[in-house]
Amino acid sequence: MKIDSNNPRELAMQTLVLTAKGAYSNLQINSVLEKSTMNVEDRALYTNIVYGVLQHMLTFEYQLAPFLKDANDTEDWVKELLYTAIYQLEYLDRVPKRAIFDETIKIAKRNGHDGIRRMVTGVLHAIDRKGLLDPSKINNRPERISIQTSVPVWLVKTLDEQLGKDKTEAILRSINHPAKQSIRMNQHADMPKDEIVATLEEEGFKVSESPVATSGLILQGKLAINSQLYKDGIITIQDESAMLPVESMTISGDDNILDACSAPGGKTTQIAEQLSSGMVTALDIHDKKLRVVKRNAQRMGLDDKVTTLALDARKVDEKFADETFDSILVDAPCSGLGLIRRKPEIRYSKTLADSEKLSNIQQEILTAVAPKVKVGGTITYSTCTILNQENQDVVDNFLASHPDFSLVTVATNRDLSANIDNKLLKIYPDDYKSDGFFVSTLRRDK
């Protein structure tokens, strides 16, 4: 496959092929943008097409199928190329149809042979003549919702069972809209909020308050990573909902705290911001990920309050005595289904079996760390998924086997009481247009 590093549509097709093979879209996009010499407009078009196709993949598969003689015999890159064309035709009003056709056909010729060029040309003109199938005509409801919103049928059925049809549809209608860009203000930095906001506005950002987290701001207009405040460690990039687990913790300056699943370190630094003489120990299985935690802590001037250790959280007994920590954060490895707006390919790779398998790991981590928190201390258990199997069910099972712990109502600075269900905080992607998140507080009573 030839590579044209300045053609946004061709790069989008190539990125989609790699993502379909298991690569993470955000990492692939960042890699392409770092190496490419595309101008600002083409970089935006490239990113828009990649995320747009990923968000609507099942819809496009359904709509393209009638125009292919045999979908199974059509090469993957050709289908991805046709999806990029459909996305532009359906969602990008400013791109002329002639430009979409010309560019798509040229890419087909460059990457294939004349037969593929003719096939792609024929499909595009057939779509133009006949139009695309309307998914709203599908009679079966779960299948219709699946194709309309581009999520697997199992996820529609599972959310129906757990949340009801209205909430399911509200969530799934929301996930294909662009994610907000939110940042967290470093509470340890010597710069008041008003000054941070004013500086960001001077840099060209449109700034608004987060309705979810008090340390959060919503930025528009540019990428936050380009802000001087980010480079200086005054702000860091974090979703609003992801700030809530630490915001819900009661932290004293001299506390000894364990962040049991820390990488990439957003919550580790959020804890460290509130410490004076205290320390947060950040665990992760992989040294490589801990290096990212360290870099984040250094950038934000917090490295003297963070110590890292490569260790599986299920093996904390090998390193720490019982009642070592004042509080523990278990932001557990999970299916990530609360992030499907930000990482759209997640929905295609996960299964219900994955969620159930992860719930066993989550339970094992909680059981392992439980003796390490002091009597009177708390374990904050959180995930970025929205399925009961990894959230409420894990908490219920833990409490059933640990009578020395009790559930405490999660408290946040914005008083998100409408999202409290049985003392548990549940944020869904449609609630505030943020990531979906789950937070619980488990207190050791004896």
Q: Known catalytic residues?
A: 384
Contacts 24+ apart (CB under 8 A), 226-232: 227/200, 227/203, 228/199, 228/203, 229/196, 229/199, 229/200, 229/203, 230/183, 231/299
The beta strands (E) that lie in 50-176 are given as none
Coil, helix or strand for 12? helix
From the list 171, 225, 114, 208, the residue with the least C-alpha distance to 431 is 171
- Prior bond to 344 cis, omega within 30? no
Pair 419, 370: CB distance under 8 Å: no
Burial of 2 (C-beta count, 10 Å sphere; 0-12/13-18/19+):
exposed
Distances (CA, A) of 35 to 2, 6, 50, 221: 16, 10, 17, 23
From the list 308, 213, 228, the residue with the least C-alpha distance to 268 is 308
Measure the CA–CA gap between 282 and 136, rounded to whole angstroms. 48
From the list 118, 106, 84, the residue with the least C-alpha distance to 2 is 106
Measure the CA–CA gap between 84 and 326, rounded to whole angstroms. 52
Angle between helices 76-91 and 114-130 (to 10 degrees): 30
Coil, helix or strand for 272? helix
- ∠ CA 25-46-181 to the nearest 5 degrees? 65
Alpha helices, DSSP H only, in 286-383? 287-299, 346-349, 352-369
Distances (CA, A) of 172 to 56, 158, 348, 418: 12, 12, 14, 20
- Two tokens at 31? 């890699």
* HSE-CB of 13 using CA atoms within 13 angstroms: 30
Measure the CA–CA gap between 187 and 292, rounded to whole angstroms. 20
Coil, helix or strand for 343? coil
Pair 416, 425: CB distance under 8 Å: yes
